[in-house]
Structure 1
Amino acid sequence: MTIKIPEPVRKQALESIQRYASANLDEDLSELAADMLLDFFIEDIGPAIYNQAVADVQERLQARVMEVDAEVYADEFQYWPRMARKRGA
């Protein structure tokens, strides 16, 4: 699966990479160099981050599915016990 990011996000990422390189590496990256670096990150490291995010979502969804029965469970065959309580009251 190819990871794609929207153009506005990509633009912000490129600006952030250039800023990081300038501030922390004393290196002024051209837009082309930052673009190539971003492509590398997305292709090589991106899948690991993506897969972890998918695993986190799956875990969260499974926890929510486990709660569904408690949220929507209805006791069965309650008519007669309810009638007995009414008569006894």
Structure 2
Amino acid sequence: MKPIKMPKEHREAMLDHIQEFFELERGESIGRLAADNLLEFFLKELGPAVYNQALSDCRILTAQRMQGLEEDIYALEWKEGR
């Protein structure tokens, strides 16, 4: 899997959230570099698992939609005796 890239604005917002989390939940202040290192760690360690789960969810949703389409198409078929 390629490294996860995100727009600068999104990354900056994530860093703000990390710093806020440490301040509110742990009563600790961490700097921007520490927040960035933590974000990189989680992207590297958790990113692939989250990505794979999202793909799995997408596969299930796609299969459900395809099943629904097949049923709709089957219902349109001309049946003898109609």
- TM-score interval (norm. to shorter): 0.7 to 0.9
For the residue of structure 2 that corresponds to 1:10, the secondary structure is helix
State whether structure 2 residue 81 is matched by structure 1 residue 76: no
For residues 69 and 13 of structure 2, the distance between their equivalents in structure 1, rounded to whole angstroms, comes to 40
**Residue type matched to 1:19 in 2?**
E
**Residue type matched to 1:75 in 2?**
E
Q: 1:77 to 1:14 in 2, by over 3 A?
A: same
> Normalized against structure 2, the TM-score is what?
0.86
Kindly state the Cα deviation for residue 24 of structure 1 after the two structures are TM-superposed. Answer: 1.1
Give the aligned partner of residue 45 of structure 2.
44
Percent identity between the two aligned chains:
35
**Residue type matched to 2:77 in 1?**
D
1:32-75 Cα shifts (integer Å, max 9, x gaps) = 10000000000011111111111001110011011111223322
**What is the aligned-residue RMSD (CA, Å)?**
1.4
Give the aligned partner of residue 16 of structure 1.
17
For residues 34 and 23 of structure 1, the distance between their equivalents in structure 2, rounded to whole angstroms, comes to 14
> Normalized against structure 1, the TM-score is what?
0.80
* Structure 1 unaligned regions, length at least 5: 83-89
Kindly state the Cα deviation for residue 77 of structure 1 after the two structures are TM-superposed. Answer: 5.5
For residues 3 and 54 of structure 1, the distance between their equivalents in structure 2, rounded to whole angstroms, comes to 15
**Residue type matched to 1:11 in 2?**
E
Count how many residue pairs are aligned between Structure 1 and Structure 2.
80
For residues 79 and 24 of structure 2, the distance between their equivalents in structure 1, rounded to whole angstroms, comes to 70
* Structure 2 unaligned regions, length at least 5: none
